[in-house]
Structure 1
């Protein structure tokens, strides 16, 4: 990936100027999540579909005894549906929002400089996006994990987690 946003730790950069970000793709969209909330990246497993799931949620998985909702950027961004494939990945996120995110490829963890474009400059009121970076070969969209799930859907998410107790 070429571009000025990636820094491999040059002496001119201070740690406060950089953010470790896991970069991945869904279709041809390059996305990123903060590495600080990353638990693991695992190979794709069977996802159990659930009815009436919140927008972006395609089902649930059992991850070491925890039921996690599975989030699809394809569904969230209204991209064409695609069956999950064995070479896809699940990004396990731990923090305020525990969930698994479907990724079709993983680029790795990169340090991003603080020259991101605010989503408010593009479309005021845009949800689920922290910012956008310009790269030589396209754009990188950084997701705002707390905003991916509508606050009104928190009860549905909790019900999905309790689904395994039935």
Structure 2
């Protein structure tokens, strides 16, 4: 699927992790929550840092710093979780900040280059007035095997 077709209707949520800026499609975002302590989840895939409880719902936290090969750091009081929906589950993404919602029509679409070490997690790259935005592909954050392992870890925690 070409993520840049019908861009006049698509909106993205910009967020920051160190530099550069990243984006998710607004249609994938359920809500943004202030960061809270993450509870470890034994047996979870390495890219899952644990789970959080959001209004009684247990949601796995994907460590996108690990996916994007960024330096690890502790949660700060001003960090946020983007709660997003994949085709299989709700997930939380820990981000430094959420920078707003923008129309994709104001961005210039470009194909991801081979030089980025994490292009497998991107659906595109776009240029904005204040820099480059890496548009993420949420469905690629967990492999099918990682999904299976996560299901087992979550089921084990429910016992």
Give the number of the structure whose alpha-carbon radius of gyration is greater: 1
- For 1:46, the equivalent position in structure 2 comes to 37
State the SS of the aligned residue for 1:86: coil
Instruction: Figure out how many residues of one structure are paired with residues of the other and give that number.
Output: 150
Give the CA RMSD over aligned residues. Answer: 2.2
Q: Which runs of 4+ in 1 moved over 3 A?
A: none
Paired with 2:7 and 2:127, the residues of 1 have a C-alpha distance of: 20
**What stretches of structure 1 of length at least 5 have no aligned partner?**
1-14
* Aligned-residue offset at 1:93: 0.8
Change in 2 beyond 3 A, CA 1:81/1:95: closer
* Aligned-residue offset at 1:138: 2.5
Residue among 94, 98, 102 paired with 1:106: 98
Residue among 129, 133, 148 paired with 1:155: 148
* Aligned-residue offset at 1:109: 0.7
**What stretches of structure 2 of length at least 5 have no aligned partner?**
1-5
- For 2:72, the equivalent position in structure 1 comes to 81
State the SS of the aligned residue for 2:27: helix
Query: Equivalences for 1:1-166 in 2 at 5 Å?
Result: 17-96=8-87, 97-113=89-105, 115-119=108-112, 122-123=113-114, 126-166=119-159
